[in-house]
């Protein structure tokens, strides 16, 4: 990096992102940028979101134009303090070369997705980060997949080994369930860890994945170093059956889009591609009856049948609970049922997918949590 010059580059969100489209600039040239400030909006084939500043500085030049499709690591803008001349900024921009997608020997060169077989079921998963240390295991929610963590996996992989999986019946894993109880799903996760020869993990669970994480800690306490529960099921009784049933039954773009919008405080984050990707999954043979069966067993009539999060105090595990105040799927009021001694954070202006809408804040909490 040139002295005093900080590049703003196209981020890599998720394991498969190759490029993004600049949708809008949120700040003007000359603006004093602080860490975490949203600078511009980018849309990928998964989601639209703001690029936040990783470093402070003054925005000296907007390089990327609105509507421009650019590869990961392409130069979007330049920050520099007043001591840097315009000529130096121009020279930096002229000399900048976007690294090739396969450059380097780092984690980016690893396959985006891996596969294994557990109890005869094919499971898609991903591994990132360091080779040593206690891994962080990400467990997604009902109807989701490991790409629900696209803003979180690489951020945590900077600090620890990371594993994320598609649960059975979800994402690209086999369209079959090991059972419709949290116990059956938690036991399956334990056997998945056996298959990977992983003894213990920091578990991060979202929504239904939070309830599975809690059950894993109760049923297999030696496997769990700590728990981070993101807008989790399992800490209260009520849940939005309109969402769970609507998601399972939606068979068209027109039906699905308003259901997915319930996940976010900002419905604009639901891109056309996101709807298309979920529809593609839902049209797989056997997915709809599987989701209806699982949803009825766990969340029938808007009532959570199992609430393992209420028993976590007995485990003595470190617990982090994070919620979006505008959650329309699992009530944020359930945060008051977090176990005594838990670290609790509630974010205004975020919904059920708080790990996407407030990614930087959630990642900061997760890094601190797994770091002890």
∠ CA 255-260-263 to the nearest 5 degrees? 150
Residue 103: phi and psi, rounded to 5, are -70, 145
Q: 114: which residues sit within 8 A by CB, 6+ positions away?
A: 124, 125, 126, 127
pLDDT of residue 158: 85
Tell me how far apart the alpha carbons of residues 205 and 171 are, in angstroms, rounded to a whole number. 16
The dihedral built from the CA positions of residue 6, 9, 13 and 17, taken in this order, carries a sign that is: negative
Q: Please give the full DSSP string across 42-69, using - where no structure is assigned.
A: EE-SS-EEEEEPSS-EEEEEE-SPTT-E
238-250 pLDDT per residue, tens: 999 999 999 999 9
Fold of 5-95: OB fold (Dihydrolipoamide Acetyltransferase, E2P) (2.40.50)
Q: How far is CA 320 from CA 210, 264, 275, 335, 340, in A?
A: 11, 21, 31, 11, 11
Instruction: For the sheet with 38-43, list strands across it.
Output: 48-52, 38-43, 19-25, 69-71
Domain ranges of the chain: 5-95, 114-371
pLDDT of residue 103: 46
Two structure tokens written together for 290 = 């599987």
List the chain residues with pLDDT less than 50: 103-108
| Class of the CATH-defined domain 114-371 | alpha beta
DSSP-derived secondary structure letter, 222? G
pLDDT of residue 224: 98
Two structure tokens written together for 245 = 């049933």
pTM of the model: 0.84
């Amino acid at each position: 990096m040139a002295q005093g010059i900080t590049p703003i580059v196209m981020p890599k969100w998720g394991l498969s992102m190759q490029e993004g489209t600049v949708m809008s600039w949120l700040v003007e040239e000359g603006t004093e940028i602080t860490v975490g400030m949203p600078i511009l909006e980018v849309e990928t084939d998964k989601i639209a979101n703001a690029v936040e500043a990783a470093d402070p500085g003054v925005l000296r030049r907007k390089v990327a134009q609105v509507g421009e499709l650019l590869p990961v690591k392409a130069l979007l803008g330049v920050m520099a303090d007043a001591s840097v001349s315009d000529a130096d900024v121009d020279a930096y921009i002229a000399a900048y070369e976007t690294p090739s997608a396969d450059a380097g020997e780092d984690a980016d060169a690893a396959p985006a997705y891996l596969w294994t077989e557990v109890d005869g079921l094919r499971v898609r998963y991903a591994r990132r980060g360091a080779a040593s240390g206690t891994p962080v295991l990400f467990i997604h929610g009902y109807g989701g997949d490991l790409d629900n963590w696209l803003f979180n996996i690489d951020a945590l992989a900077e600090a620890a080994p990371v594993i994320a999986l598609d649960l059975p019946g979800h994402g690209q894993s086999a369209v079959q369930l090991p059972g419709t109880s949290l116990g059956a799903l938690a036991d399956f996760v334990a056997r998945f860890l056996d298959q990977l020869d992983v003894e213990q993990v920091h578990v991060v669970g979202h929504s239904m994945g939070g309830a599975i994480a809690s059950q894993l800690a109760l049923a297999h306490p030696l496997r769990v170093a700590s728990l981070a529960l993101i807008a989790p099921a399992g800490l209260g009784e009520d849940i939005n059956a309109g969402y769970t049933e609507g998601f399972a039954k939606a068979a068209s773009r027109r039906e699905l889009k308003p259901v997915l919008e319930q996940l976010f405080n900002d419905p604009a984050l639901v891109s056309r591609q996101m709807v298309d990707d979920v529809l593609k999954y839902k049209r797989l043979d056997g997915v709809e009856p599987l989701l209806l069966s699982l949803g009825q067993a766990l969340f029938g009539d808007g009532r959570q049948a199992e609430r393992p999060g209420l028993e976590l105090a007995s485990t003595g595990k470190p617990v982090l609970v994070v919620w979006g105040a505008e959650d329309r799927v699992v009530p944020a009021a359930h945060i008051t049922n977090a176990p005594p001694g838990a670290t609790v954070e509630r974010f205004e202006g975020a919904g059920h997918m708080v790990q996407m809408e407030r990614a930087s804040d959630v990642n900061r909490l997760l890094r601190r949590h797994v770091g002890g």
